[in-house]
């Protein structure tokens, strides 16, 4: 019985690299639009409950990285982001062909990295506004969420590749094939 090919199979599905860049542009646009809305309509520190004591929109600014580390080190963020963006584009172009899950994960990371880079470059700080109060998670934004989604998808891709490699070596039932 032949397995039905899905979008996330490793076979070349004909998905163009353009799709990955469209995903990235969508993430950037959504990130910047939401940040503009927060910047224009909320005071810093203002909180709008979405689900009381669970989740809120809370206007916050961050001049550092995750959890506020490395405050004010913009030159470091510029340098790291340029290197990361270059690396992600390289990986999309060289390694995502026929691997849509890899391409999508990299697209989310690219969009997230550029979204926060735009803030650092033009605002000299990152606008954060999504607050999971129930777990007191640090306030974040769409770019941060996209980066996290991208990393999770990348981990799934890596686990899939490792499993497939083991299946090639040992077979599906665990016996070695030469």
Active site residues: 128, 144
Which residues touch 148 (CB under 8 Å, ≥6 apart)?
A: 112
Which residues touch 154 (CB under 8 Å, ≥6 apart)?
A: 102, 105, 106, 109
Which residues touch 105 (CB under 8 Å, ≥6 apart)?
A: 149, 150, 151, 152, 153, 154, 156, 157
3-state secondary structure of 101: helix
Partner residues linked to 48 by β-bridges = 57
CA torsion 35-41-43-47 (nearest 10°) is: -80
């Amino acid at each position: 019985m032949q397995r039905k090919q899905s979008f996330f199979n490793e076979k070349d599905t004909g998905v163009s690299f353009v799709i990955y860049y469209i995903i990235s542009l969508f993430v950037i646009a959504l990130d910047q639009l939401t940040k503009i809305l927060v910047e224009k309509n909320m005071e810093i520190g203002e909180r709008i409950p979405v689900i009381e004591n669970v989740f809120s929109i809370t206007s916050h600014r961050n001049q550092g990285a995750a959890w506020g580390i490395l405050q004010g080190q913009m030159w470091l963020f510029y340098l790291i982001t340029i290197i990361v963006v270059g690396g992600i584009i390289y990986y999309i172009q060289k390694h995502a062909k026929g691997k849509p899950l890899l391409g999508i994960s990299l697209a989310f990371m690219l969009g997230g990295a550029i979204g926060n880079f735009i803030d650092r470059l033009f605002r000299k700080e990152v606008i954060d506004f999504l607050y999971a109060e129930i777990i007191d998670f640090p306030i974040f934004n769409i770019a941060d969420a996209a980066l996290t989604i991208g990393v999770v998808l990348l981990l799934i891709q890596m686990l899939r590749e490792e499993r497939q490699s083991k299946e090639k070596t040992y077979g599906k039932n665990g016996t070695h094939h030469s």
